[in-house]
Amino acid sequence: MQLSDKDMLTDLLLGTKSISTAYHHGVLEAANNRTRNAFIQLNNDELTFQKQIFDIMHDRNWYQVEPAQMTAASQQQQRTVAPQQMNVREDYQMEQRPY
């Protein structure tokens, strides 16, 4: 069985997403700046390749993306930002407590 262009591009797209995730973890876990910078560069290259594949697929109507509703985007932002702000406040309050 021969794969279609769409199947090959879909496989490439999924592969680039997986590799990018691995590189991202490498950035987060790197013990020194040289290693971290190498993972950052590898990830940036992979993201560039992913974008090229996405653009080809999107142009051919093989990859459709639903536009995000502003309310959905705002809700996701709140879910992401609120816990971070809470942690900052807790850390600040902990620093202010007398020992």
Do residues 80 and 34 both lie within one domain? no
Do residues 30 and 75 both lie within one domain? no
Tens of pLDDT, residue by residue over 43-84, are: 999 999 999 999 999 999 999 998 877 787 788 888 888 777
Tens of pLDDT, residue by residue over 20-54, are: 999 999 999 999 999 999 999 999 999 999 999 99
Domain span at residue 93 reads 69-99
Measured CA distances, 70 to 34, 63, 73 (Å) = 39, 22, 5
Number of domains composing the chain: 2
Model's pTM, two decimal places? 0.66
Do residues 41 and 88 both lie within one domain? no
Do residues 4 and 35 both lie within one domain? yes
Q: Tokens in use for 98?
A: 């007398």
- Within 1-99, strands assigned E span none
Q: Tokens in use for 88?
A: 């900052």
Do residues 37 and 74 both lie within one domain? no
Do residues 16 and 42 both lie within one domain? yes
